[in-house]
Chain A
Amino acid sequence: MATITASNPPTSTSEKTRVWRIVPAKAEIDPIRYARANRQRRIWLGVLTPVVLLAFWELASRMEWINAQYFPGPSRIIVAAGDMIASGQWIADVGATLRTIALAGVIGFVLGLFLGVIMGAFATIRHLFEPVLSAFYTVPKIALLPLMLLVFGIGETPGNLLVGVDVFFVAWISTLEAVVKVPGGYREASESFGVRGIREFGHVTLPAILPAVFVALRIAVGQAVVITIMVEYLMGNKGIGYRIWHAWSLFDANTMYVGIVTVAVLGYLLQLLVKFVGARAVPWAATSSGGDK
């Protein structure tokens, strides 16, 4: 529908009548070229905003409109990043952060998915746990950190648990909602053919909830990055979050910005990965971008 916004101008409007001429436009006359131009335009627009922002930042820093000690320009940050990468520190930090996200995130998500499906399928279990879990859902997970430190001591476990719990809730609530909302007709059809239990799950319920699961996964990935960085701020001695906080306490602005930019890029790439996998895992879903109808 995107191609129709500009309606065709009427060619002739006399006093009494108006003639609407509906004729091919650029998109119809040379569709291949139009599609290519559209694609290029999308890429350019996507790149334009960060480039303009970075250029302005660099300029502001060089011209000393802003204090370069706290706001060093991108060029200085890139140099700092080069040093960090060369020393192996950057890789170690990224590795530590990614490890937490992957380990805690995957376990949390799978458990949430599992419980969501079970609770969606069995009303008794749903009624047994939903109120308690809903109450817990709204508690900021970071508020549980002191409690976890008390129970598990200082180490990696409390941080991993927090990330896992947060991701768990996102997966659980989305999955439950999706399972409950699977159209009754799908269930009746499988029931009428005697397809039940694990087979019904694999052939009907899982594909039906998959689009919602991937939306949840995108949200969960974002959350996992945020909580991981937060936990690294507060405790531990490695990871990007720790690096940002540590740099701040040493007034090392360059390293701090390298950390912040790394988090942003990491978050973006993880989202991209989920989108990429999602598009392949759910080939029957209509895509939100692209397509000419």
Chain B
Amino acid sequence: MSIDPTISIRDVGKVYGVGRKQVEALKGVNLDVDANEFVCMVGPSGCGKSTLLRIIANLQRPSSGAVEVTTSATAVRPSAVVFQDYSIYPWKTVADNVKFSLLAQNLPKAEVRDRVTLWLEKLGLAAFADHYPSQLSGGMRQRVAIARAMVVESEILLMDEPFAALDAQLRRVLQEELLSLWQDMRRTVVFITHNLDEAILLGDRVVVMSGRPGTVIGDYRVPFERPRQADIRATAEFAELEQELWLRLRDEVHVGGETRSMKVA
């Protein structure tokens, strides 16, 4: 294993627009993510978390600073991404949606089939392989989005509030599934969420971002051993950390410009 951090973010800033309409989304962001580390990012709406994720994914470029992502030499893209709004294609079946992300890898047919089958099974989608997304519930659709990202077997997985659209119960189910999935098959993960509970349950570290312009204002190590179970929620340390995070975050949520958060988020 290389000792270099898998993701290294140096003084990253991002500005949208020019002149009077200019909005500073990110300012002086510094962050390292080690190999096989699960880092959760929390912050108020519009603090540029999603922007940062898009920059790490090489979908946008920073206005200043640099991001370095280290992958294996054969990688087609630096990372696989699970988007906030699923962005799975309604005109493709579940299996075809998952297969889609292997298109650029030019793998032999048999391997594609095996991998798709494997990940459909792991996410409990095997019975729905030939269904269209419109025939599925929100939770199932999000499983498809996760399967689509996982099947690439990229070393780095970026997740942008993947469970935000789900109801609270379903959210718990998927959190626990992701927890055991990740503990089985480690990857480097950057996971964005609004949910502190989710961040502590899943993460090795929780990074707190400020209101706009977003920058890192806190970096907390989660003190629970791996593999962990969802019942750590009941411990005192869990509640303590959640409280600590909330105190750090509370003031930022008030100053965070809510009105234009849609544009930057």
Contact = CB atoms under 8 A, between A and B. Distances in A.
Interface of A: 1, 3-4, 7-8, 13-25, 27-29, 31-32, 35, 292-293
A7 B63 contact: no
Contacts of A24: 61-65
Given A20-B67, A23-B61, A23-B62, 10 more contacts: A3-B61, A19-B68, A20-B69, A20-B78, A21-B67, A22-B68, A23-B65, A24-B65, A25-B61, A31-B63
Contact of B55 (A13, A16, A22): A22
Contacts of B2: 16-17
Nearest to A34: B18
A214 B67 CA distance: 43
A4 B61 contact: yes
Contacts of A18: 70-75
Q: Which 3 A-B pairs have the closest CB atoms?
A: A22-B67, A20-B78, A20-B69
11 contacts: A3-B61, A8-B61, A15-B73, A18-B74, A20-B58, A21-B68, A22-B56, A22-B61, A23-B61, A23-B62, A28-B63
Contacts of B74: 18
Contacts of A20: 58, 67-71, 78
B152 to A, nearest CB: 15
B66 interface: yes
B60 interface: yes
B185 interface: no
B61 A27 contact: yes
Interface in B44-84: 55-56, 58-75, 78
A19 B66 CA distance: 12
Interface string B122-137: 0000000000000000
A4 B68 CA distance: 17
A27 B18 CA distance: 11
B50 to A, nearest CB: 12
Interface in B1-57: 2, 4, 15-19, 55-56
Contacts of B72: 16-18
Contact of A21 (B17, B19, B66): B66
Interface in B187-201: none
A25 B55 CA distance: 13
A225 B45 CA distance: 50
A107 to B, nearest CB: 40
Contacts of A16: 2, 72-73
A37 to B, nearest CB: 13
B168 to A, nearest CB: 22
B18 A31 contact: yes
Contacts of A8: 58, 61
B262 to A, nearest CB: 12
Residue among A13, A27, A31, A293 with the most chain B CB within 10 A? A31
A16 B65 CA distance: 26
A18 B18 CA distance: 34
A124 B55 CA distance: 54
Contact of B73 (A1, A14, A29, A35): A14
A60 B143 CA distance: 63
A24 B78 CA distance: 17
A8 B72 CA distance: 17
Contact of A22 (B4, B16, B17, B62): B62
Interface in B106-164: none
B69 A19 contact: yes
Contacts of B69: 19-20, 22
Q: Which of A20, A24, A35 has the largest count of B CB atoms less than 10 A from its CB?
A: A20
Given A22-B55, A22-B56, A35-B18, A17 B71 contact: yes
A22 B13 CA distance: 12
Contacts of B63: 24, 28-29, 31
A22 B66 contact: yes
Contacts of B19: 32
Contacts of B55: 22
A183 B18 CA distance: 35
Nearest to A6: B61
B26 to A, nearest CB: 12
B59 A23 contact: no
A24 B55 CA distance: 10
Interface string B87-111: 0000000000000000000000000
Contacts of B17: 292
Contacts of B75: 18
A25 B15 CA distance: 13
